[in-house]
């Protein structure tokens, strides 16, 4: 028999953590509501699938995912309890927002992405200059697509075939910072010598690069944490490199499964001292969560400008678009 904490306790706990995090970070997100299964007693008789199915994500997590653009909870009998809770919370919130009003989020944008260096060996790393963000993860999880998506570009090559990125690729984000696309780790068909060479290349970059400010470990939301990922977390932890998980391809999961996946992933990293406890949740295909992720990266790199800046950029873009379509229409 597995013991769950009553849902109202989860809320209370989530609210406390939420408040604490709001004090230290400008945009507290998912971890604030999800560390609820850690207190569950392990039942070793259950399969991983059964354990996964038994997770009951709190309503707050659903709300945050809906807000990020990951769909809505179905209006079926199965979720009627959650819908009731949600309606109650909406009512309470309405009272509050009538007084304050929710602040609208602008569309955050990156300057132009451009490739500037590729390295197959540490000797060919470009000199350290701007701060860097690196994307690592198993082959085919969606690292390259993610970089394209946040930068609104198609400069980075993506592929269905695993193992295409066999070198570390460096990209300029305008003159703000660098984004780095790393080779995928942990797939079977490369021989040992080659794999060892890649491993050393990545380890050297990750441990010796002084300008590296954040390692994002990208996971496919359908698969979650795999053995190769755990090995990689251990390596990062032993070298005391701070890292954060990004769950991508989240469009391929229905909302309840996505919420459960987030909880299982957060349970995995709870014990790892160097893991950022917040999991970033995105889809490069639908762009859900991408704007928020862009904001977090800009903040991390020290380049987040006031909202008015992004609003002005968007207004100029809209104006240009309007002019273009007007002149097209008049030519017809």
Ligand X SMILES: Nc1nc2c(ncn2[C@@H]2O[C@H](COP(=O)(O)OP(=O)(O)O)[C@@H](O)[C@H]2O)c(=O)[nH]1
Q: Whose CA is closest to 231, among 239, 223, 161?
A: 239
178: helix, strand or coil:
strand
CA-CA distance, 71 to 28, in Å (whole number)?
21
Question: In the bound complex, what is the minimum distance in angstroms from residue 193's beta carbon to Mg ion?
Answer: 22
Q: Which does 56 bind (CB under 5 to 8 A by kind): Mg ion, ligand X, none?
A: none
Indicate the SS3 state at residue 292.
Answer: helix
Length of the chain: 332
Percentage helix, strand, coil for the chain under 3-state DSSP, each rounded to 5: 50, 15, 40
Q: Which is nearer to ligand X, 28 or 221 (CB)?
A: 221
284 versus 292: smaller Cβ distance to ligand X: 284
Q: Is 248 in the site for ligand X (CB under 6 A)?
A: yes
**Nearest residue to 241 (alpha-carbon basis) of 146, 132, 139:** 132
The nearest distance, CB 214 to ligand X, in angstroms, is: 17
- Which residue of 56, 85, 145, 291 would you call a contact of ligand X, by CB under 6 A? 145
State in angstroms the smallest separation of the CB of 316 from ligand X. Answer: 29
- Where do the H-state alpha helices sit in the chain? 7-24, 31-34, 48-54, 59-68, 80-100, 143-151, 192-208, 227-238, 255-269, 290-300, 307-331
29 binds ligand X (CB under 6 A): no
Interface residues for Mg ion in 142-181 (CB under 5 A)? Answer: 144, 165
Q: Which does 284 bind (CB under 5 to 8 A by kind): Mg ion, ligand X, none?
A: ligand X
Q: Which of 86, 249, 294, 295 binds ligand X (CB under 6 A)?
A: 249
Task: State yes or no: residue 291 binds ligand X (CB under 6 A).
Answer: no
Interface ranges with Mg ion (CB under 5 A): 144, 165
Interface ranges with ligand X (CB under 6 A): 137, 139-145, 158-160, 165, 184, 248-249, 251-252, 283-285
């Amino acid at each position: 028999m597995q013991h769950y904490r009553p849902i109202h306790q989860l809320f209370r706990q989530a609210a406390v953590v939420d408040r604490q995090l709001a004090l230290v970070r400008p945009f507290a997100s998912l971890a604030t509501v999800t560390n609820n299964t850690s207190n569950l007693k392990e039942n070793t008789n259950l399969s991983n699938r059964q354990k996964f199915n038994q997770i009951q994500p709190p309503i707050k997590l659903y709300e945050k995912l809906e807000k990020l653009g990951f769909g809505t909870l179905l209006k079926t009998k199965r979720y009627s309890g959650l819908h009731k809770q949600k309606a109650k919370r909406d009512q309470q919130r309405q009272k509050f927002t009538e007084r304050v009003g929710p602040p609208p989020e602008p569309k955050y944008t990156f300057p132009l992405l451009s490739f500037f260096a590729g390295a197959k060996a540490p000797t060919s790393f470009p000199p350290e200059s701007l701060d860097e963000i690196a994307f690592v993860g198993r082959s085919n999880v969606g690292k390259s697509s993610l970089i394209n998506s946040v930068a609104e570009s198609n400069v980075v090559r993506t592929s269905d075939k695993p193992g295409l990125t066999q070198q570390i690729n460096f990209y300029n984000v305008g003159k703000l910072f660098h984004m780095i696309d790393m080779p995928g780790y942990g797939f079977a068909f490369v021989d040992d010598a080659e794999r060892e060479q890649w491993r050393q290349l990545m380890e050297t970059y990750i441990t010796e690069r002084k300008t590296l400010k954040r390692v994002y470990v990208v996971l496919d939301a359908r698969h979650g944490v795999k053995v190769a990922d755990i090995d990689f977390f251990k390596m990062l932890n032993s070298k005391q490199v701070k890292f954060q998980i990004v769950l991508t391809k989240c469009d391929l999961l229905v909302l309840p499964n996505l919420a459960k996946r987030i909880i299982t992933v957060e349970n995995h990293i709870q014990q790892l001292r160097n893991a950022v406890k917040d999991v970033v949740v995105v889809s490069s295909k639908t762009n859900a969560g991408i704007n928020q992720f862009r904001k977090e990266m800009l903040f991390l790199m020290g380049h987040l400008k006031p909202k008015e800046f992004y609003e002005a950029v968007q207004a100029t873009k809209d104006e240009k678009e309007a002019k273009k379509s007007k002149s097209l229409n008049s030519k017809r």
